[in-house]
């Protein structure tokens, strides 16, 4: 259950669900049949009746149970939380979600421990971070939020910023890499720039030039597997230590890629949310 405060004069429930939130027909139908939307005092609301600014709508509906097995405790930092979503800082080396029934220590298992300890039962990640990537991950706490955040990811209105140290000196202060990415036929997990691959766009901006490397901030328009790693390698600046993508081996024998910021207009709270992760590379 949650509340929504109307901020636009004359908005109807129908317009809120279909036009502002752009929920799918099936979900809208389910909410209508369940009489899920009422006024704050429980009074039924007509879906096509204009509402006054400041009206509080109450949403009450059955929330399904997510099937992630909770860990004993949530051992990952929670950087932001409200009744609709939370943002956690995924550690490096931890998977975003289970890939088989034996996976019990993924980010979503820890998230579910937190959710259950607070009386909840639903949590679904909105995007993913690679195993070797650390940083901010957005998680929806109910199906309406999941539907809206999924669309926002598709429409690129959730701005995801990453930081990486790459080999060599990047001469351009900023740029856009627009190259399709597909699977490498000769390697099970590797990806390559390929004409037959999926559309992929990465924006980069130089933050600092060091002696033999460059610190860059990157913003994803799309979310392809290994996208930043593939794109930076493609322009001749692989992430330091990323030997899968042609970087030199380092003493750490791994790469550093950090999801440092999430920014979006919150669809329920009518405000812009900006969350930054601590511990940048430099």
Residues 254 and 177 in one domain: yes
> Residue 243: its pLDDT value, please?
93
Whether 239 contacts 226, CB under 8 Å: no
Q: Which secondary structure element, helix H or strand E, spans residue 214, and what is its range? A: strand 213-220
Can you list the positions of beta strands (E) in 40-195? Answer: 56-59, 78-81, 85-90, 124-125, 133-140, 159-167, 174-178, 181-183, 191-193
% of the chain with per-residue pLDDT over 90: 87
> pLDDT tens, 139-151?
999 999 999 999 9
DSSP 8: S
Q: Is residue 122 part of a domain?
A: yes
> Residue 160: its pLDDT value, please?
94
Q: Is residue 202 part of a domain?
A: yes
Q: Which domain holds residue 190?
A: 160-258
Mean pLDDT of 39-44: 91
Q: What number of residues does the chain have? A: 282
> Is 130 marked active-site?
yes
Q: Is the pLDDT of residue 108 over 70?
A: yes
Residues 115 and 55 in one domain: no
Q: Is the pLDDT of residue 280 over 70?
A: no
Q: Which of 130, 173, 253, 277 is catalytic?
A: 130
Listed residues 155, 176, 207: the one ending a domain:
155
Tokens read off for 259 = 């999801």
Whether 137 contacts 96, CB under 8 Å: yes
Residues 51 and 84 in one domain: no
pLDDT band at 249 (very low <50, low <70, confident <90, very high): confident
Residues 125 and 172 in one domain: no
Q: Is residue 72 part of a domain?
A: no
Tokens 């001469």, located at residue = 171
CB atoms within 10 A of CB 263: 15
% of the chain with per-residue pLDDT over 70: 99
Q: Is 9 helix (H, G, I), strand (E, B) or coil?
A: coil
Residues 192 and 239 in one domain: yes
Q: Is residue 273 part of a domain?
A: no
Full DSSP string of 75-95: -S-EEEE-SSEEEEEEPTT--
Q: Is residue 127 part of a domain?
A: yes
**Residues pairing with 262 in the sheet:** 160, 275
Q: Is the pLDDT of residue 54 over 60?
A: yes
Separation of alpha carbons 193 and 198, rounded Å = 9
The domain that contains 165 carries what CATH number? Answer: 3.30.2350.10
**Residues pairing with 263 in the sheet:** 159, 274
pLDDT band at 281 (very low <50, low <70, confident <90, very high): low
Tokens 């351009």, located at residue = 172
Q: Is residue 229 part of a domain?
A: yes
Q: Is residue 263 part of a domain?
A: no
Q: Is the pLDDT of residue 279 over 90?
A: no
Mean pLDDT of 166-195: 95
Phi, psi of 233 (to 5 degrees): -65, -40
Tokens 């230590």, located at residue = 241
Separation of alpha carbons 237 and 252, rounded Å = 18
Q: Kindly report the pTM of this predicted structure.
A: 0.90
For the chain, what is the domain count?
3
pLDDT band at 81 (very low <50, low <70, confident <90, very high): very high
Q: Is residue 102 part of a domain?
A: yes
> Residue 102: its pLDDT value, please?
84
> Residue 60: its pLDDT value, please?
94
Q: Which secondary structure element, helix H or strand E, spans residue 42, and what is its range? A: none
Residues 138 and 180 in one domain: no
Separation of alpha carbons 48 and 19, rounded Å = 13
Mean pLDDT of 151-163: 94
């Amino acid at each position: 259950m949650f509340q929504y405060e109307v901020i636009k004069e004359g908005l109807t429930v129908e317009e809120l669900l279909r036009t502002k939130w752009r929920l799918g027909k099936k979900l809208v139908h389910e909410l209508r049949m369940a009489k899920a939307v009422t006024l704050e005092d429980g009074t039924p609301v007509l879906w096509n009746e204009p509402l006054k600014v400041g009206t509080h709508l109450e949403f009450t509906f059955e929330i399904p149970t997510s099937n992630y097995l909770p860990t004993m405790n949530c051992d990952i930092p929670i950087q932001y939380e409200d009744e609709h979503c939370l943002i956690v800082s995924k550690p490096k080396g931890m998977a975003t979600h289970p890939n088989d029934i034996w996976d019990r220590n993924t980010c979503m298992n820890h998230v579910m421990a937190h959710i259950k300890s607070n009386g909840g039962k639903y949590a679904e990640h909105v995007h993913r971070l690679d195993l070797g990537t650390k940083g901010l991950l957005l998680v929806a706490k109910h199906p309406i939020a999941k539907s809206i955040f999924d669309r926002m990811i598709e429409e690129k209105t959730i701005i995801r910023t990453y930081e990486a140290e790459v080999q060599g000196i990047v001469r351009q202060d900023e740029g856009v890499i627009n190259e399709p990415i597909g699977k490498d036929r000769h390697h099970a997990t590797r990806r390559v720039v390929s004409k037959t691959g999926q559309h992929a766009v990465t924006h980069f901006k130089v933050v600092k030039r060091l002696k033999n490397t460059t610190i860059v901030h990157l913003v994803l328009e799309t979310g392809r597997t290994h996208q930043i790693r593939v794109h930076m390698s493609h322009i001749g600046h692989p992430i330091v230590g990323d030997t899968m993508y042609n970087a030199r081996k380092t003493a750490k024998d791994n790469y550093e890629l950090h999801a440092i910021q999430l920014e979006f207009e919150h669809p329920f709270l009518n405000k812009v949310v900006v969350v930054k992760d601590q511990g940048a590379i430099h």
